[in-house]
Amino acid sequence: MSVAEREINALLALHPKGFDLSLGRITRLLERLGNPHLNLPPVIHIAGTNGKGSASAFCRAILEAHGLKVHVHTSPHLVNWHERFRIGADGGGRLVGDELLAEAVRRVAAANQGEMITVFEILTAVMFVLFSEHPADAALIEVGLGGRFDATNVIESPAASVIMSISLDHQAYLGDRVELIAMEKAGIIKRGSPVVIGAQTEDTARDVLAGVAERLKCPVSVYGQDFFAVEENGRLAYQDEDELMDLPLPKLAGRHQQSNAAAAIRALKVAGFKLDEAAIAEGLLNVYWPGRLERLAEGRLVEQAMEGVELWIDGGHNPGAGRVIAEAMANLNDRESRPLFLITGMINTKNPVGYFEGFAGMAQHVYTVAVPASDAGIDPELLADAADEAGLTAESAPDVGSAIAAVCRNWDQRERPPRILIGGSLYLLGDVLKLNGTPPV
């Protein structure tokens, strides 16, 4: 166990788990720390149900291709707490070092003086401290939950506010209708600051976001109206009112990543960064975002599977994510037909039926598993029932390794070796990457 992990575990034992949406505690703590959030490089603040991590990854890759130093804050992590804090240095961001993170955690915890607070708020203050004390050219800050009362929303004048695709998720905190969730996400919009609205599957979400931006007199860019991207002849054509760019397809798999890349490009432009088309192309080819439609090419689980089997992982866990992941799997199948099996674990704040519905008629079978890293995991038997309700056949398995073995035993050997998608929870993916021996770097 790392030093920083020990420090954070001690805080988890003292403070309540989960979220308590409010800005009062984080504001008080930041004041005691000298308001580090007011001493940052230009900030791109990113919210959304799906796609915010990908947008952040594209922004980082493009900026670093221009030789710029970039801080990045994302959550949650997959394997190690350090993944949440990437420090820009020498033109290439590195995950924060263990001693540096541990020292910042100790300092912030001391400033809190034992008062009521959540660990996410403490870690958000840690992010602001780290980013303010290390020079960089940009800071990419991903919202944790919602927007309006998320701890990151003390940023006063972002260079750009970006809101990616909105779907039903975290209804207990954000509301049970897409337009209510959109209003919460719109809370990161600040008067007069540029706003970029990524591709939306619901017109009501787009209308709410655009309405808030217009009311606050923000320059607003809407995907499909002010900018867009489309695949043409194996390339990505990006266009806005200023230019048309001929770019390579993004390294990240899935058609949805094309619109995510477009939102990132537009965000960097409206934030005032001068972009070169060749460097944008380099960024799209080098982008790195683990656990999102990622094929495992090596590792212990890959070695355990039968030769020729494809292992894919993705952390999507809501109905909107289920639809785009299913579409990506369908596109893979169009290029090379293979039977598709799902290995799925989810936590109890999600909508499993809505997630599984995207795979109806496509996945041959589902194996449901527990999520060891969370005490809020859905019982695998109940999760199998949810898959059945969505029109799939399903059964529970003791763990991911057992589920992979079951797929390898039971597929029809007259077909090509199967394609296995492991997903439904970022917590599950953390366990999978640890088991496989390939944590994010």
Q: What is the pLDDT of residue 145?
A: 75
The CATH 3.40.1190.10 portion of the chain extends over: 3-286
Q: What is the pLDDT of residue 292?
A: 86
Contacts of 386 (CB under 8 A, 6+ apart): 352, 353, 356, 378
Q: What is the pLDDT of residue 16?
A: 67
- For residue 190, what pLDDT band results from cuts at 50, 70 and 90? very high
Candidate from 58-62, 168-172, 289-293, 422-426 with smallest mean pLDDT = 168-172
Cβ neighbours of 132 (radius 10 Å): 20
How many whole angstroms from its chain centre is CA 389?
A: 27
Looking at domain 294-436, what is its CATH homologous superfamily?
Answer: Mur ligase, C-terminal domain (3.90.190.20)
Q: Bigger pLDDT: 377 or 441?
A: 377
Q: What is the pLDDT of residue 314?
A: 92
Residues 389/394/397/401 CA torsion (nearest 10 deg): -120
Q: Determine whether domain 3-286 maps to CATH 3.40.1190.10.
A: yes
298 has a pLDDT exceeding 90? yes
172 has a pLDDT exceeding 50? no
Q: What is the pLDDT of residue 169?
A: 55
Q: What is the pLDDT of residue 47?
A: 94
Q: Residue 170 phi/psi, 5° resolution?
A: 55, 45
- Contact (Cβ atoms closer than 8 angstroms) between residue 198 and residue 223: yes
- For residue 112, what pLDDT band results from cuts at 50, 70 and 90? very high
Average pLDDT over every residue of 331-357: 91
203 has a pLDDT exceeding 80? yes
Q: What is the pLDDT of residue 411?
A: 81
The span from the CA of 128 to the CA of 84, in Å, is 12
362 has a pLDDT exceeding 70? yes
The CATH 3.90.190.20 portion of the chain extends over: 294-436
Q: What is the pLDDT of residue 92?
A: 67
Q: What is the pLDDT of residue 34?
A: 98
- For residue 20, what pLDDT band results from cuts at 50, 70 and 90? low
Q: What is the pLDDT of residue 368?
A: 97
Mean model confidence pLDDT for the chain: 92
Q: What is the pLDDT of residue 170?
A: 45
Q: Mind listing the pLDDT tens digit for each residue in 371-398?
A: 987 878 899 999 999 999 999 999 999 9
48's torsion region: left (phi>0), alpha (psi -120 to 50) or beta? left
pTM of the predicted model as reported, rounded to 2 decimal places: 0.91
Q: What is the pLDDT of residue 168?
A: 59
104 has a pLDDT exceeding 50? yes
Give the best-scoring range by mean pLDDT among 91-100, 318-327, 329-338.
329-338
The span from the CA of 99 to the CA of 359, in Å, is 44
